[in-house]
Structure 1
């Protein structure tokens, strides 16, 4: 196998976190990947990867080699695209991942405007929870809420979002407006059983966290259904500010307990290769970033 192919295999292992996942990504057998990495380490007279049942980890030499590999592979890919005339005009398949409930209220209108401007791009929107592995999951760009783990991705900051508690005007008129988290014990709540949503509500209290569990009168399988039920006066709902942006803007829901809100979380677009990314990725980042930054949902 050529040195270029060795670097491709090594980069795939680094990005996917395992030999098996790298083999699937490159459509090779795991044995081929193992032999390639072993041959690479033998040629360099150094250990690049530490293997364990949980996957692989980079050695100090592997960290340095990974950075060099990434730069060489990106520049080679850029040269290929430039020679073929494929870098300047955006086109082809673009896959973007966004958090649940980010799509309809905030993201889709921007996507439709982008497709009007770049009709040769075919765009797929996926929903995700947390920060996906772009290479492993086959994603070009992801909108991520929360602190990013250390990674090789580039990030464009969009603003801040925060967890909130809210209820409909009719509910608050009937049950009163809670003034402290302790008041929630006498209130009704609508919760979601979807992964990533906690049924216990936590509030910062000095250096500790106060946990409150209001009476759960309705459990929905999706957060979208829980927010809808809250607009009908069933109970209070806890959600991220962007998840109920339209309902808050229209007055269907009103925020409560603002003085006890958790710290805001950053939102960002992550992608690979920076300015060397393919035209469809670069144009989407350049198109969407200022529009998302200007959206009131990202103003904390």
Structure 2
């Protein structure tokens, strides 16, 4: 095999985490796939995979080389497309991930618009309430809420959201409004699991981030369930501002303790650094950035 073919085998093994599955996809025998990767490792002088009888996992060197190998093959594809006069046309499958409620509410309309504009592309969207690893999980684009810790990512900031506290008007008629964070101790509170890894809620009090310890009457494993409980008048819950936006606008929920809210969190569209964005990725990022920046519920700073 030539260098490009061995890189193709390496990328597929990394994707499938299996030599046998990769060989099936590529139409090779498993020994041929194994020999190709072994030859690549020998040429590079590094171990690319840790192998056991059941698992095949990238080494640290392998993870770095995977990013470069993908970029090289994509550059080649784009060069061939440019020579054929089709460079600017998005093609292939775009894989996108986003938080569940954010994705359902704001990203799905963008995806359907993108598909209508670009008939040569298909999209796989995976909604997760966790931080996905773009490199290891083979995502092209991710929508993330929060400050980025990984400096190896390109980020386009499209707005900001806040963690807010809210309840139904009916609840407040019965039990009154809390005026300061400590008042929540005497209220019925609902913990949505994705945010509540402590025994309380954080607030900005006199310029400092402080934890007010609370005992919830109800714990939910999904923000949508906590929102529903609040709408039914069970108590107060924390939601991201975009999750409650429509209910706040319609006065189905009311926001309280606004002066004690934590700092806004950025909403970013991200993709991998060092991997030149191809046409399908560029077009999606451009469209998503435009649409999200026009969204009144994602206030910009």
* TM tier, smaller: 0.7 to 0.9
> In the alignment, what sits opposite 1:20?
17
Q: In 2, distance between residues paired with 1:278 and 1:242?
A: 30
Q: In 2, distance between residues paired with 1:68 and 1:91?
A: 21
- Say if 2:229 is the partner of 1:232: no
> In the alignment, what sits opposite 1:5?
5
> In the alignment, what sits opposite 1:58?
60
**Residues 96-245 of structure 1 aligned to structure 2 (within 5 Å):** 96-134=96-134, 136-150=136-150, 152-193=152-193, 198=197, 200-204=199-203, 209-216=210-217, 218-245=218-245
Q: In 2, distance between residues paired with 1:38 and 1:132?
A: 29
Q: Structure 2 vs 1, CA of residues 280 and 203 (structure 1 numbering), >3 Å: closer, same or farther?
A: same
Give the structure-1-normalised TM-score.
0.77
Deviations 1:184-217 (A, max 9, x none): 1111123345x5654733314566641422441x
SS of alignment partner, residue 42 of structure 1: helix
Displacement, 1:173?
2.7
Q: In 2, distance between residues paired with 1:72 and 1:95?
A: 19
Q: In 2, distance between residues paired with 1:296 and 1:23?
A: 50
* Conserved? CA contact 2:6–2:37, under 8 Å: yes
Displacement, 1:157?
1.6
- Number of matched residues? 292
Q: In 2, distance between residues paired with 1:264 and 1:90?
A: 34
Q: Structure 2 vs 1, CA of residues 190 and 25 (structure 1 numbering), >3 Å: closer, same or farther?
A: farther
SS of alignment partner, residue 148 of structure 1: coil
Deviations 1:30-51 (A, max 9, x none): 876765554334324x436595
Displacement, 1:238?
0.7
* Conserved? CA contact 1:187–1:236, under 8 Å: yes
Displacement, 1:260?
2.3
Root-mean-square deviation (CA), in Å?
3.8
Give the structure-2-normalised TM-score.
0.76
Displacement, 1:258?
2.0
